[in-house]
Each structure stands twice: as structure tokens, then as C-alpha cells.
Amino acid sequence: MKNTRKQVTMALLVAGLSLLPMHAAVPAPVSAEERMSHSIRKELLTMPFLTIFDNLAYRIDGNTVHLYGQVIRPTLKSQAAARVAKLEGIAHVDNQIEVLPLSPFDDRLRIAVARAVYGQPALNRYALGANPSIRIIVKNGNVTLEGVVNDTGARNIANIQANGVPGVFSVTNNLRVEK
């Protein structure tokens, strides 16, 4: 009885596997640019001292990587370029990252906007994890929200919360809605 049950199970398993399309078992090949993009993203996101007040972006152009964004520490700009330059297949790094000016006023606004945005119950889930998805960039009293949210409601709430902080001159909402 045990042997027959085992044979039936094996027969069903083999029959089930034969019904799968052949291409489903083979993963799609990953291009060199996708591998490079994944490596660059990993290097940038795992940088020590990267905060929600820093925004890094990049563009790959052949074997040249263009770095963009804003950081509050000058060392992050040079670290980002150094980490990306050491990756395989990259010949040149064009570092266009902007170092934001030192300003106690902007520092206070950063904290106040972060509390307003991430303190909102509808948005506090975006603060979870090692890499929060909403970035808050403050330059001369002007706030820019960068990152990705799940829906337009979260995008609008973040904009309203940032606009409600006293001392903010303007808010540019560059939050993208995840597809």
C-alpha cells in the first residue's frame, strides 16, 4: 500500500511538471546594464551616514555613471563617487551631487518636516526599514520631497504635511506613485 501511494505521488509529480511550459523553468537572462544598475544602487543605498535628508540618483551611459542628487555631508558626495568607481565595468564617474549649504534654519526645518510627514499615521509605514522611501531635501527653506509611495493619497498627504510646517517657503512634491 505504501509503495503504491509513493508511485502514484511520483506519477502525479512527473505529470504536473510536464504540464509546465519549458521557458518557465529557465530564468530570463540579466543584461550587463541591469547588473551594473543593481550594483550601483546597492553601493549607494548601503553607504554609512546616508539619511532621509539625502537624495542620490544615477544614470548609466555606457561605461560612464552620472551621479545626481543632494547630500547634507560633503563626505557623502566623495564616498558615493569612490564606491561607484570601484565597481566592475565602470570607467568614469561624473559626480554632479550637490552638497547642501550649512544652515541651522534648514536643519530645524528638516527635523520638523520629517516629524510632520513620518508622524502622520497614514505615512508612518514609509519610515520603516533601513532605507525609508520618502526623502526630505531642504535648501534655503525650500522643501523637496523625493521617493516612492504606494498611492496618490499618500503623495498628497505628504505634500499637505510638509506645507503645514511653519517656516517652509515652498514644497516641491517629486514623490512618485509605485505602479
Topology (CATH) of 32-99: Histidine-containing Protein; Chain: A; (3.30.1340)
Which has the closest alpha carbon to 49: 19, 14, 92, 78? 78
State the fold for domain 104-177: Histidine-containing Protein; Chain: A; (3.30.1340)
Phi then psi for 85, rounded to 5 degrees? -60, -30
Give the largest CA-CA distance in the chain: 80
Sign (positive or negative) of CA dihedral 99, 104, 105, 110: positive
Q: Parse the chain into domains and list their residue ranges.
A: 32-99, 104-177
Q: Please report, to the nearest 10 degrees, the dihedral formed by the alpha carbons of residues 45, 47, 49, 52 taken in order.
A: -10
Relative to beta strand 134-139, strand 142-149 is antiparallel
Where residue 83 falls (left for φ over 0; alpha for ψ -120 to 50; beta otherwise) is: alpha
pTM across the whole model: 0.79
Half-sphere exposure of 166 (CA within 13 A, CB side): 0
Return d(Cα 8, Cα 28) in angstroms, integer.
33
Give the 3-state secondary structure of residue 42. helix
Q: How many Å apart are CA 77 and CA 79, to the nearest integer?
A: 6
3-state secondary structure of 106: helix
pLDDT (tens place) for every residue of the chain, 179 residues total: 555 454 444 443 343 434 444 444 555 666 878 899 999 999 999 999 999 999 999 999 989 999 999 999 999 999 999 999 999 989 999 999 999 999 999 999 999 999 999 999 999 999 988 889 999 999 999 999 999 999 999 999 999 999 999 999 999 999 999 88
Amino acid, res. 135: R
Common-topology check for domains 32-99 and 104-177: yes
CA gap 148, 104 in Å, rounded = 28
